[in-house]
Amino acid sequence: MLEDVNESSPDWVRPVLVFDMGAQTAQLIARRVREAHIYSEIVSPKLSAEQILARKPLALIVSGGPHSVYEDGSPHIDPELLKSGIPILGICYGFQMLTQMLGGEVASAGRHEYGKAEATVATDCPLFADTPGEQVVWMSHNDEAKVLPSGAKVVASSPGAQIAAFEIEDHPIWGVQWHPEVRHSEYGSQLIKNFLFNAAGLEPNWDPQSIKEHEIRQIREKVGNARVICGLSGGVDSSVAAALVHRAVGDQLTCIFVDHGLLREGEREQVERDYAASSGVKIVTVDESERFLNALAGVKEPEQKRKIIGREFIRAFEDAQRALVKEAGEAGEEIKFLVQGTLYPDVVESGGGEGSANIKSHHNVGGLPEDLSFELIEPLRTLFKDEVRALGIELGLPENLVWRQPFPGPGLGVRILGELTKENLAILRAADRIVREELTAAGLDRQIWQCPVVLLADVRSVGVQGDARTYGHPIVIRPVVTEDAMTADWFRLPYEVLERISNRITGDVPEINRVVLDCTSKPPGTIEWE
Ligand code: GLN
């Protein structure tokens, strides 16, 4: 969690706090608020009014949740907050909780209302400004408000809920039974904006430039004159985190890039040349490809490959760290901090970031001397992925890096079914480059979430190339689309693009005589083949 905001802090650090009442959608609410350019964070309803007020929130939103407010032990926010004068919006469970806490009555509706509903709204209520009197909303409830709190009036109803929204006369408190944060609610984003700007009277002030300035100030304050290291993976998060830290403390930062020999074509150059040029960061590359290939020799089993790659990666990274620490020590300097590209969803999912700030970088390798201990700097830990991308652009990083598709840590190591040899890696690299080039040329990079290219090194089939019999390998292309990588669908690549990819690969990569398309969703297939 961020530190308390003091008087000298700029206004925009003051958050809109979203109470997570166990909803599927608390993160979505926070995102909608941020999309309206107001900073927002998710908090637990267990926090006391005092703890909440110390954050100087601009407004509060209470999310939906699976409980019924009349059940024993159902979550409630501290009642003191209702008298604080801070604007509050309750959504679904949050609406029902406010109804009950303000003296109304909530009970089972005896039926449920799931999905699309038509609501009639009072357009003179600030929540519904600039929206039509009849609108499609998305409902998901079994309980309903039977009796309004005193001083409240109904400002919306739906066929399944007589009281579908209320406002309180003398308090800046509103509630809606439906879910404005989901896209299916036609004017949902507008409702959230109306709450922030019309009802609560806030001003938008959260944008990439202010994020950048704030983070830079914080990093400078924390780091002082100490030295900092960062592991670069070539991915978006570590690249943006390092660029930000570099902007704050310049050459006090050194980045380590481990070349494990499982990189795609051009990847090392992209990091060493393009990224270094655009961000100015100092990069130490350690070429460890021999070490990885030796450790992986003869290994075909996917889990074993992943384990070996993970283990060697930690060792290689630690060796590089240790060398840098030693070098700095000889120059009379101390490396005190390690940068990590942790994002907000990771923080929320691991329980709100109550983790320890000090890690032993080698905690997962037994038997190593305990001589490396850093304090963490996680400049992205309050941001969502799209905000990280916007910040990357604001920092002047190239678009192709900022919009880079996710790539697994073990790299091409999990895209060869069979042994990871230099030869197999070279074949896969060549095919993968062609696929990437064609997808970029077709303008599909942002539509496709990721497109693994997989070499079936242990499979051979008969072909004919240049009038001669061949006995080559098939290559698989697996274009997918997904929101969160938990489930995915295969992307319908246009036939012309498939044709070009197939012709070029079989023409340019002699070991490959067949190109196949993976048209499996997830589940049942995972995105990667290993
Ligand atoms: N559990 C409550 C109900 O069924 C609230 C549901 C919700 O917040 N989605 O009405």
Average pLDDT, consecutive stretches of 10 residues, N- to C-terminus, the chain (530 residues): 44 84 88 93 94 96 96 96 97 98 95 92 96 96 95 94 95 97 93 98 92 91 94 91 96 95 93 92 95 96 92 89 91 90 78 33 34 83 89 93 86 95 97 97 94 97 90 98 84 98 97 97 92
Q: Is the C-beta atom of 521 inside 6 A of ligand 1?
A: no
Expressed in angstroms and rounded, the spacing between residue 140 Cα and the centre of ligand 1 is 6
Closest to 88 measured CA to CA, from 152, 6, 160, 35: 152
Note the pLDDT of residue 364.
Answer: 31
Look at residue 368 in the predicted model and tell me its pLDDT.
Answer: 37
Which atom of ligand 1 lies closest to the CA of 143? 10
Alpha helices in 140-256 (DSSP H): 188-193, 208-223, 236-249
Q: 90 alpha carbon to ligand 1 midpoint, in Å?
A: 12
For ligand 1, atom 5: residue with the closest CA: 93
d(CA 202, CA 92): 23
C-beta of 142 in contact with ligand 1 (< 6 A): yes
pLDDT of residue 147: 96
Residue of the CA atom closest to atom 3 of ligand 1: 141
Q: Which protein residue's CA is at the shortest distance from atom 8 of ligand 1?
A: 64
Substitution candidate for ligand 1 out of 71, 92, 108 with most atoms within 8 A of CB: 92
Rounded Cα–Cα distance for residues 75 and 494 (Å) = 50
Query: Is residue 238 a known part of a binding site?
Result: yes
121 is in an annotated binding site: no
Catalytic residue among 113, 167, 181, 288: 181
Q: What is the pLDDT of residue 357?
A: 27
Considering only CA atoms, give the Rg of the chain. Answer: 27
Q: Is 92 a catalytic residue?
A: yes
CA atoms within 13 A on the CB side of 433: 13
Q: Is 318 an active-site residue?
A: no
For 24-64, give the DSSP string. Answer: S-HHHHHHHHHHTT--EEEE-TTS-HHHHHHT--SEEEE--
Taking the CA of residue 66 as reference, the ligand 1 atom at the shortest distance is 1
Is 361 labelled a binding residue?
Answer: no
pLDDT score recorded for residue 358: 28
Interatomic CA distance for residues 340 and 360, integer angstroms? 13
Ligand 1 atom 6 nearest Cα: 141
Give the active site residue among 113, 125, 167, 179: 179
Q: Residue 492 has what pLDDT?
A: 98
Is residue 237 marked as binding? yes
pTM of the model: 0.78
Helix runs in 88-135, H state only: 93-101
pLDDT of residue 370: 53
* Ligand 1 pocket member 140 (CB < 6 A): yes
Does residue 304 line the site of ligand 1, with CB under 6 A? no
Cβ count near 66 (within 10 Å): 10
CB 66 near ligand 1, within 6 Å: yes
Task: Look at residue 208 in the predicted model and tell me its pLDDT.
Answer: 92
pLDDT at 372: 62
Bond preceding residue 523 cis, omega within 30 of 0: yes
Q: Is 184 a catalytic residue?
A: no
Alpha carbon of 63 to ligand 1 centroid (Å)? 10
- Whether residue 220 contacts residue 245, with contact meaning beta carbons closer than 8 Å, is answered with no
CA of 64, closest atom in ligand 1:
8
* pLDDT at site 374: 86
CB 287 within 8 A of CB 320: no
d(CA 306, CA 530): 9
How far apart CA 61 and CA 451 sit, in angstroms, is 38
